[in-house]
Chains A and B, each alone.
Chain A
Amino acid sequence: MSFEPLAAEVAIPLIPQIVHPNSAALPSVGEPTIEKETHAEEELDLPWQVVVHNDPVNLMSYVTMVFQRVFGYPRDKAERHMLEVHHKGRSILWSGLREPAELYVQQLHGYLLLATIEKIF
């Protein structure tokens, strides 16, 4: 019986070859090119976080279901966040760009959860 190696077992050399700086083998590179680094507006806008706050009315099972649906989290991760909200008063569910953060908060409000978007300073 033969086994196909698992993808993770296939070793790929990632270390680049190191060449001595004075090596004669180096090709002429000429003047260095200065690249202007630009950032998209969204990149500069980073990061925002989606926070869910404790609410004594919403059922724990309901909150867990909402986290699974909105963020696609597996049940155990959704439960961990739910318990954090319950015990600590709040939990950070997601962080990233402002626009998707707003959309997440809108969805959470659609499920009647207390959620806010906060900028990380």
Chain B
Amino acid sequence: MEIRRRKNQIEISELDPFLAELLRQIPASANTQGALAAEQRIFSAPTNGNETELCAEWKMYVEPELRRLFQSATQTVGSDLEQLNSNEKSLANRTLRIPTKHADAWLSALNQARLVIAAKNNFTELELNDHLRSPIGSRRDLSLFQVNFYGFLQEFILRELDC
């Protein structure tokens, strides 16, 4: 896989089918449905629990707005990812071009996905910092790889935004 900035796009080329599939999974991975821990992490409380009135107002007025914001980001990413559904041979390497104006949506969707996966798997800080863990031998290992891969993409996008 190669990742580089080309004018107003971030180009990820030489994407093998495995990594392409991980990218396709971003919107689905960001979905909190059916996972209470993930839902609680994405929509965390605005206080430490001692301001019940504020928490109730937050749930009623702020949470729906945040939900819309997060959905909008994953929809943008989902539409960019449609490039990976071309009619090329299924095992061929792919190229994904992300317009830099979508960078914020990608940062958000990647972050949502990482947080949801981490919450669903209840990863410890030690596991999350173990970047040399290999090979992928279980579903849990795969999820950890996914978190790290998405983190790598976030780092690249952040670096590009900094330039």
Contact = CB atoms under 8 A, between A and B. Distances in A.
Interface of A: 56-59, 61-62, 65, 102, 105-106, 109-112, 114-119
A62 B158 contact: yes
Nearest to B112: A112
Given A56-B125, A59-B155, 6 more contacts: A56-B124, A56-B128, A105-B46, A110-B66, A112-B42, A116-B48
B51 to A, nearest CB: 8
A57 B151 CA distance: 9
A65 B107 CA distance: 11
Given A56-B125, A57-B128, A62-B107, A112 B154 contact: no
Contacts of A110: 66, 69
B155 A58 contact: no
A62 B162 CA distance: 11
B69 A116 contact: no
Contacts of A105: 46
B106 to A, nearest CB: 12
Nearest to B107: A62
| Most A Cβ at <10 Å: residue of B45, B46, B65, B151 | B46
16 contacts: A56-B123, A56-B125, A57-B111, A59-B158, A62-B158, A65-B162, A109-B43, A109-B44, A110-B66, A111-B108, A111-B111, A114-B44, A115-B44, A116-B47, A117-B51, A117-B54
B48 A57 contact: no
A89 B124 CA distance: 15
A118 B54 CA distance: 11
A43 B120 CA distance: 43
